[in-house]
Amino acid sequence: MRSGKLNRSAAGNGLLFALMGVCGVFMALPLVMIVNNALKPLDEIFQYPPRVFVRYPTLENFADLFVLLSGSWTPFSRYILNTVIITGGGVLGHVALASLAAYPLSRMDFPGRKLLFSMVVLSLMFSWTVTQIPNYLIVSALRINNTYLALILPACAYGMGLYLMKQFMEQLPASLLESARLDGAGELRIYWSIIMPNVKPAWLTLAIFQFQSLWGNTGYLFLRDEQLKPLQYAMQQIAAGGAQRAGASAAVGMIIAAIPITFFLCAQSRILETMTTSGMKD
């Protein structure tokens, strides 16, 4: 509790914390089930009456999953490599391009600045489903269909990252830039040696958000070759395998959930620092 907080009544505290408790249980229960299901032996998964908590935890579901994946026609390691290339390329490209564009948008004055930024804000107001069909046509026209680039290039230009990075750069103190400009440093140099070291929390935030959006992508629309498909796709195939694969698919569910949560956990305070500047000022 924050010390010396004003205007707090015990009744109000009790009411709000009770509400928080109930809702917290509702929010956490499915996640708890995911973990427990992954640790349940097969007979407990199909037990009646159903139980949330595992009685005799085991790792056999993960062993099953491993056997299934290593028995698949395309080696398991290939799916991991594909995921690393796609998420790695999409994350690095996005952080690099978005921060390079965010600097002039936040710190320089030039014709068209407002227009460009308002288009980025507008892009936050609709979802990718709107542009899916033309996107497919454009990817085909560029002849990058069925390559990693079909997923990486569009990801580099997502609106959210540029928006957050620009807002974050805007709050850096003006004095930081002025002395460098007086010294006659070029804009690219200012960007690289003054701005970039000061926006590390925003890099990390962009990277994590971008990872979250690419991690769930199965690439079903653009990737035809089995050799190019990401881990998410392989795991989804296993999860769709029905009752005899219920154990392995429970393990899949846990892996899919655990990785983004782990990343978020490691970066939580940096992300919140970035989000303090996320507000829209008209």
Q: Which of residues 223-262 bind other proteins (CB under 8 A)?
A: 232, 236, 239, 253, 256-257, 260-261
6 lines the binding site for other proteins (CB under 8 A): yes
Other Cβ atoms within 10 Å of 159 Cβ, number: 16
Nearer Cβ to other proteins, position 3 or 197? 3
Nearer Cβ to other proteins, position 2 or 114? 2
65 lines the binding site for other proteins (CB under 8 A): no
- Residues numbered 173 to 212 that lie near other proteins (CB under 8 A) are 181, 184, 186-188, 191, 209, 212
Query: CA angle, 93 as apex, 279 and 130 as ends, to 5°?
Result: 60
How many chain residues touch other proteins (CB under 8 A)?
99
Q: How far is the CB of 197 from other proteins (least distance, A)?
A: 17
Q: How far is the CB of 234 from other proteins (least distance, A)?
A: 13
Whole-number Cα distances in Å, 98 to 56, 80, 82, 94 = 49, 26, 23, 6
SS3 state of residue 164: helix
What is the C-alpha to C-alpha distance for residues 163 and 105, in angstroms, rounded to an integer?
10
List, as own/partner pairs, every contact residues 16-21 make where C-beta atoms lie below 8 angstroms and the sequence separation is at least 24, other chains included: none
Q: How far is the CB of 52 from other proteins (least distance, A)?
A: 7
User: How big is the chain by its Cα radius of gyration, in Å?
Assistant: 24
Nearer Cβ to other proteins, position 59 or 133? 133
281 lines the binding site for other proteins (CB under 8 A): yes
- Residues numbered 107 to 166 that lie near other proteins (CB under 8 A) are 108-111, 113, 116, 119-120, 122-127, 129-135, 137-138, 142, 153-154, 156-157, 159-160, 162
Site track for other proteins across 10-49, x = CB under 8 A: --xx--xx-xx--xx-xxx-xx-xx--x--------x-xx
What is the C-alpha to C-alpha distance for residues 107 and 217, in angstroms, rounded to an integer?
34
Phi-psi group of 146: left, alpha or beta (phi > 0 → left; psi -120 to 50 → alpha; rest → beta): left
Q: How far is the CB of 62 from other proteins (least distance, A)?
A: 17
CB contact burial 94-128 (16+ within 10 A = b; e otherwise): bbeebbbbbbbbbbeeeeeeeeebeebeebeeeee
Site track for other proteins across 91-110, x = CB under 8 A: ------xx-xx-xxx--xxx
Q: How far is the CB of 175 from other proteins (least distance, A)?
A: 16
